[in-house]
Amino acid sequence: MSDHQPGSGAAAHAQAAAEAIRGLNHATRSGNGLGQPSAAHDVPGSLPLAAARLGQAPAQVTRCPGQALAAGRPGHDLGQDPAIPVSAAGTLLGGARLPAAALAGGLGAAQQLALVNGRPRSRKDQP
């Protein structure tokens, strides 16, 4: 995709996000990637925000195919009406917000319950 095409910046950001997650997975695959106990707190602390932000882009991407369909631009490889697959893709992309929100909530809850100052909570630390 050329840098002059609309949406190419969005595609580049999506690819960079995928690479950042790959790098995070690589860095955390063993305890060596964390380095210090505080990193075990900081990494889970950042993941809920990342997951919460993830739901916005797929929902926003649904506008483009819908607008193209309304303008009569998309076709179908088999010559069928493109409205059904465009609508289904829009529904699935728009619905991605809910799992992203659930992931963010679960990660946030896990971070709050499991870690205090880079160490597991003991019974006396709990409210």
At 25-74, the pLDDT tens digits run: 888 887 666 777 677 677 877 889 999 888 888 888 888 888 888 888 88
- 65: domain range? 37-119
Q: What does the pLDDT read at residue 7? A: 61
The residue type found at 69 is: L
Contacts of 10 (CB under 8 A, 6+ apart): 57, 61
- If one counts every other C-beta atom within 10 angstroms of the C-beta of residue 58, the result is 18
What are the pLDDT digits (tens) for 60-119?
A: 888 888 888 888 888 788 888 888 888 888 888 888 888 999 999 998 888 777 655 445
Determine, yes or no, domain membership for 19: no
Interior CA angle at 63 toward 61 and 65, to 5°? 85
Determine, yes or no, domain membership for 124: no
Kindly report the pTM of this predicted structure: 0.66
Determine, yes or no, domain membership for 8: no
Determine, yes or no, domain membership for 70: yes
